[in-house]
Structure 1
Amino acid sequence: MTRRRTFFGSSLLLTAGVLVLTACAGSTEAGPPPSPQPVATSPTPTPSVTATTEPLGDPTCETIIPAATVEDFGSVGWTVRAEPFRIGEQELEGGVQCVWGDFTTATDHVQIYGWAPISAEAADDAQDELVALGWRVEESPEGLIVTESADTTVATDGDGYGLTYLFGDGWVKYADTKQGLLLVTWG
């Protein structure tokens, strides 16, 4: 089986870095941090795919997203909390879900990324569970996208997507927005 690795243009990483730095810029005034503003990219970047034979090891919060993004998060004082990868009640062994943010203060301003291996049967069960909860499904060239209902989402990207899963051949990715999925490069 050939593993795929995704690479992104520097413009996507620059856009993500600007979003992180803009959203995290501190203020001397008391009050809640500013809400993140989605950065629209037009057209939506499409990751390029190349085959690789080098072993990937186990996914970690520092390896499922680009090293430059990890460095950018660190440069603004963000740290990560690793959690088991879950879809509803189902925990996917071998996966990781990562919540990046400034945990020294109470905030809901975080970034979420995840990756896990998944069997076809488990993927079908997870998709059925999400759809039963009101999530919507759409086909994409990269795989099957399952995203939360626009009626219940709290934060969205420039295209109106909130929490989103991308199911591929033997794997699933997760991010707090569909655009955020582009940063999950593992697999």
Structure 2
Amino acid sequence: MTPRIPVAAIGILALALAITACAPSPEPAPTKTTAEKPPVEAPPATAAAEDPDPAPAEGADPTCDTIISEGTVEALKEQGWSAEASEFRVGELVLDGGLMCSWADYSTASDHGQQYGWAPVDAKTASDLQATLLSEGWQRVEGEDGVITEDPRYAFATDDEGYGVTYQFGDGWVEIADTKQGLLLIDWK
């Protein structure tokens, strides 16, 4: 029996492959006079600022620089990473007013990157989305209401606790990160 991969996991994998495919050609091989750049590591999820960033301004739109903590943005940019924004999707459904940010070093082809997203969502849509994710094999995290994560058997990457791509639903919003620990870095509510 062939294991079934949840639709949302395929979508996220397709997005990662598309980002890699659209990246500029790799830099030429180093010569004797050119030093090779060391690999760039993403900051750990614990890099969130100790003092939370101020709440978003009333009526402000989310951006890739504002949905995650200021300290995280600075750490990513110091490593030469930048963000590419896209629409917030859960499977085939696009959530209006939402934003998905893919952070990576786009100057070179790589499979290293991080994703953070946030979208407004009403209670009925949030309930429907959670039911759909669960029916596709995603798992509710025990003891954490509103947290749904992909089946770890299909996760492209996991955090220290073994969680891959994870959604968190709150009062009027949903957020996503490529790991459950990554949710800690999202400040936009």
Normalising by structure 2, what TM-score?
A: 0.70
**Change beyond 3 A, Cα 1:77–1:51:** closer
Q: What SS does the aligned partner of 2:87 have?
A: strand
The answer to whether the Cα contact below 8 Å between 1:79 and 1:101 also exists between their aligned partners in 2 is yes
Looking at structure 2, the residues matched to 50 and 38 of structure 1 have their Cα atoms a distance apart, in angstroms, of 18
Question: Runs in 1 of length 4+ with deviation above 3 angstroms?
Answer: 36-41, 47-54
Is the 8 Å Cα contact of residues 88 and 126 (structure 1) preserved in structure 2? no
Contact kept? 1:40, 1:159, Cα under 8 Å:
no
Deviation at 1:110, TM superposition (A): 0.3
Would you say 1:65 and 2:94 are equivalent positions? no
Separation in 1 of the partners of 2:183 and 2:56?
23
1:75 match? 78
Q: Using the alignment, how far apart are the partners of 2:61 and 2:166 within structure 1?
A: 22
1:153 matched residue in structure 2: 155
Question: Who is 1:28 aligned against?
Answer: 36
| CA-atom RMSD in angstroms | 3.1
Q: In 2 relative to 1, CA 62–140 (structure 1 residues): closer, same or farther, beyond 3 Å?
A: farther
The AA in structure 2 aligned to 1:179 is Q
Secondary structure class of the residue paired with 2:108: coil
- Alignment partner of 1:137 out of 124, 136, 140: 140
Q: Which residue of 1 aligns with 2:25?
A: none
Q: Secondary structure at the match of 1:64?
A: coil
Gaps of 5+ in 1: 1-26
Determine helix, strand or coil for the equivalent of 1:94: coil
Shift of 1:77: 0.8
How many Å separate the matches in 2 of 1:81 and 1:153? 22
Paired positions, count: 153
SS of match in other structure, 1:146: strand
- Amino acid of the structure 2 residue aligned with 1:147: T
Spell out, residue by residue over 1:34-58, the C-alpha distance to the aligned partner (whole angstroms, 9 max, x if none): 8x699697xxx9x998996952501
Distance in structure 1 (CA, Å) of the matches to 2:180 and 2:82: 22
- Of residues 177, 181, 184 in structure 1, which corresponds to 2:183? 181
Flag the 1:49–1:183 CA change in 2: closer, same or farther, 3 A: closer
Question: Is the CA contact 1:136–1:149 (under 8 Å) kept in the aligned structure 2?
Answer: yes
In structure 2, list runs of 5 or more residues that go unmatched: 1-34
Closer, same or farther: CA 56–69 of 1 in aligned 2, 3 Å: farther
- Please state if 1:102 is matched with 2:105: yes
Which letter maps to 2:71?
A: A
Give the letter for the 1:86 counterpart.
Answer: R
Larger Rg: 2
